[in-house]
Amino acid sequence: MTRVVRVVAFGFLIHFKHLTRNPFDVMVTTIWPLVYASLAYFMFRAGSPPESLLIASIGATVMGIWSVTTVGAADAIQRQRWAGVLEVLVAAPTPFWTVLLPITIASSAIGIYSLASTLLWGRFLFGIPLELAQPIWFLVSIPPTIVSIGLLGFVMASVVVRFRAGWAVGNMFEYPVWIVTGLLIPVALLPAWAEPVSWALAPTWGMRALSDAAFSGGSPLFDIGMCVLLSAVYTLVGAVLLGRFLQSARRRATLSLT
Amino acid sequence: MTAVRVALVGGLLSFRGLFSWLHPAIFVPTMVVPPLFQVLFFAYLGRAAELESDSFYVVGNSIQLAALPGLFAVSQAINGERKSQTLAPLLASPASRVALFLGRSLPVMAIGLGVSFASFGFGSAVLGVEVDAGVLPPLLATMTVTAFSCTALGIAHAAVGLRVREMAVFSNLVFAVLLVFCGVNVPLDDLPGWMGTVAQGLPVTHTVEAGRELLAGASLADVGGLLVTELAIGAAYLVLGLALLRYYERVARRRATLDLV
């Protein structure tokens, strides 16, 4: 157990440092959400109440976290493949899921840049007041949001083990998850089937936790609990799927094919 | 005659070899699915903001999406030469540079047109936007003009790629500028004045306006001025792009950096 925790903790630290030195990832997390935040500010500014601008800020933040996670996590295995270490990592006695999981969490963790850049962008360029009703709860909501989104990325990474263009698959899920999880668009506006789907996706609960904490509407405790619950489910599902797909790749001798 | 052959045959072969997203496993997740969902995303966002009708977002986004292949595919088709170590022999050849680079751009325009039209059709069908069949030919012409101007912008931006290595970042930035500045999702009147001014010099702005006018009942002749302006903007970016390619070629030869990846 200690070994698993150590592998995950050090893996997270190393990959977080590595990703923060990648201009593409940093750009995606810091600038890309600003594009959508700006568009949302312009669109909502025309006729919506001021608090909707802060919600747009938070929504754009979570969008940024998902963007960097979906591409980064889906491409995580391919990066190991290109580096020529995938076979070694899979053959090592340490379970491979403990190697992959910190990579996907590190991908979502650099979304912290998105949080800072989007809130500051809204504050200084659009004059959106950063008045958080429950600042402590807001801070408490950030880690479970990031981890649960990272673990959703872990499930995605597990599924695309045998897919060489994993990043493209990740790219494909960017908009659909943005739409269905109600980050900028209220789920009530979507077709009825979208709401149950949104319950199974971590960004929904992360967004609710952050916006509940930002306003005095209610406690984000339930939403945080849902993030934790989904994190556990994603870890289990991801580990099982990863085992199956790796087994299949090993049987067909396709693991290292780039 | 040789220049035409270099442009058409050479361009198509090079494009197929260098645009690595042509494989369906990459093409569908990058050039088909995200554009469709971009249209839906902004249409629903527009509903949430109660700003404009669905047709406003369907037309705006589907026309702007011509820039997706225009930026990413042209960049790959030109900078891919460097990655595959064929740029130096290519530039050492006596072939016309205009034919070389325009040839690589023609398939991109076709893809841009396809992406635009598919996004428009999908968005209209899903969101229930009523479109008169008579609007489709002039709209197709408008999208063709956009595909040209965006591809021309793509050539200018790909030329910079001969010096800048992180082209994915740069392409995303240019795409974002078009999305924010060109009145695609926010009417130009609701943007700050300086953004509206910048938009006048960018591709997409005028064709988005033309597309919306066509859906509102205007004829092709009515929007002719807008299309001519867009063509002029495209031609300006094309000249700029070819000049930049020539400039960076000279600089790279002088510094012996042509093949550095």
Residues of B in contact with A45 (CB under 8 A): 190
Residue with the two structure tokens 């440092």: A17
CA–CA dist B218, B189 (Å, integer) = 21
Q: pLDDT value at position B260?
A: 64
Nearest to B238 by CA among B174, B158, B132: B158
With CB atoms and an 8 Å threshold, state whether A184 touches B21.
no
pLDDT over threshold 80, residue B162: no
3-state secondary structure at position B192: coil
Are A32 and B23 in contact (CB < 8 Å)? no
Asked if residue A62 lies in contact with residue A206, where contact means CB atoms within 8 angstroms, the answer is: yes
CB A201 within 8 A of CB A181: yes
Residue of chain B whose Cα is closest to the Cα of A29: B169
Res A46: pLDDT: 64
Please name the member of B49, B172, B180 whose beta carbon is closest to the beta carbon of A38: B180
Please give the pLDDT value at position B261. Answer: 55
Handedness of CA A10, A78, A156, B28 (dihedral sign): positive
Q: CB B50 to CB A48 under 8 A?
A: yes
**Has this prediction a pTM greater than 0.80?**
yes
User: pLDDT tens, B208-240?
Assistant: 999 999 999 999 999 999 999 999 999 999 999
Which pLDDT score is estimated for A49? 67
Report the mean per-residue pLDDT for chain B: 88
b/e map B89-127, b = 16+ CB within 10 Å: ebbeeebeeebbbbbbbebbbebbbbbbbbbbebbbeeb
Q: Does B170 touch chain A (CB under 8 A)?
A: no
| Residue B216 neighbours by CB under 8 Å, 6+ apart | none
What pLDDT is recorded for position B173?
Answer: 86
With the C-alpha atoms ordered A179, A181, A187, A190, is the resulting torsion angle positive or negative? positive
Residue B257 confidence class, pLDDT cut points 50, 70, 90:
confident
> For position B53, what pLDDT does the model report?
92
Contact (CB, 8 A) for A47 and A124 = no
| Contact at CB, A43 and B23, closer than 8 angstroms | no
* pLDDT for residue B28: 87
Interface of A with B in 6-25 (CB under 8 A): 23-24
pLDDT of amino acid B171: 86
pLDDT of residue B89: 82
What is the Cα–Cα distance from A105 to A233, expressed in whole angstroms?
15
Q: Which residues of chain A have pLDDT under 70?
A: 24-25, 28, 46-50, 217, 257-258
Distances (CA, A) of A53 to A45, A94, B7, B21: 7, 46, 50, 37
Give the mean pLDDT of B12-26: 78
A53: helix, strand or coil: helix
A195 touches B at CB < 8 Å: no
The pair of structure tokens assigned to B36 is: 């469709």
Burial pattern B134-171, b for ≥16 Cβ within 10 A else e, equals ebeebbebbbbbbbbbbbbbbbbbbbbbbeeeebebbb
Amino acid (one-letter) located at A226: M
**pLDDT confidence of residue B206:** 97
Q: For residues B247, B248, B253 and B255, what is the CA-based torsion angle, rounded to 10 degrees?
A: 110
Block residue for tokens 């966002």: B45
Q: What is the DSSP string of B85-130?
A: T-HHHHHHS-S-HHHHHHHHHHHHHHHHHHHHHHHHHHHHHHHT--
A125 touches chain B (CB under 8 A): no
Q: Does B45 touch chain A (CB under 8 A)?
A: yes
Residues of A in contact with B37 (CB under 8 A): 174-176, 179
Q: What does the pLDDT average to over B97-106? A: 84
